Chains A and B, each alone.
Chain A
Amino acid sequence: MTNRREGVRRRRHARPLLASLATAALCAGAFLVLPGTASASSVSCRGHLDPSTDAPVPDVFDYQFVCDEEILAYSIVTNRSTDYFDTEPVVFVGNPKDGNASNEAFSCEGNIPGFGVGCNGKATPDASGLRWIVGGLGYGSDPCAKHAKGQGVKVWLTVVTTQHKADGTPYTASSQPFRLGGACGGQSRAR
Chain B
Amino acid sequence: MARGRMRLAALTAALAVTAALPAAASAKPTITMSGSTSVAPLATLLAKGYINACNHCVSFKIQQGGSDVGIADVAHGRVTIGNSSRDPKPSDPGGLVFNKIAHDAICLITNPSNHLSSLDQSGVQAIFGGDVRSWSGVPGSNRNGTIDVTVRTAASGTQDAFQKIFMGSKKIFSGASQKASNGLVQQAVQRDNDAIGYVSLAFTRGTNPVAYKGVPCTLRNAKSGQYGGLRNFYMVTRGAPQGAAKRFIGWVKHNRSAQRIIATEWVPLS
Q: Which of A42-50, A72-80, A95-103, A145-153 contacts B (4 or more CB under 8 A)?
A: A95-103
Q: Judge whether A109 and B62 touch: CB under 8 Å.
A: yes
CB-contact partner of B3 in A7, A103, A113, under 8 A: A7
A63 at the interface (CB under 8 A from B): no
- Given the interface pairs A107-B37, A109-B63, the reply to whether A88 lies near B183 with Cβ below 8 Å is yes
B178 at the interface (CB under 8 A from A): no
A27 at the interface (CB under 8 A from B): no
Return chain B residues, CB-CB under 8 Å to A108: 64
Q: Judge whether B64 and A109 touch: CB under 8 Å.
A: yes
- Cα A16 to Cα B191 in complex, Å, equals 67
Q: Judge whether B60 and A105 touch: CB under 8 Å.
A: no
Q: Majority SS of interface residues in chain B?
A: helix
Determine how close the nearest CB of chain A comes to the CB of B233; give it in whole angstroms. Answer: 14
CB-contact partner of A84 in B7, B48, B180, under 8 A: B48
- Count, chain B residues at interface, CB 8 A: 33
Q: Judge whether A110 and B62 touch: CB under 8 Å.
A: yes
A172 at the interface (CB under 8 A from B): no
Contact string against B for A residues 96-124, beta-carbon threshold 8 Å, 1 for contact and 0 otherwise: 00011111110111111110000000000
- Count, chain A residues at interface, CB 8 A: 30
Q: Which of B40-87 contact A (CB under 8 A)?
A: 40-41, 44-45, 47-48, 51-52, 56, 59-64
- Cα A56 to Cα B41 in complex, Å, equals 10
- Given the interface pairs A14-B4, A111-B59, A138-B48, the reply to whether A105 lies near B191 with Cβ below 8 Å is no
A positions within 8 Å CB-CB of B: 7, 10-11, 14, 56-57, 83-85, 87-88, 90-91, 99-105, 107-114, 138, 140
- 6 A–B contact pairs at CB < 8 A? A14-B4, A102-B191, A104-B187, A105-B180, A109-B63, A112-B62
Closest 8 CB pairs of A and B: A88-B183, A87-B40, A101-B187, A112-B60, A109-B63, A112-B47, A83-B48, A105-B183
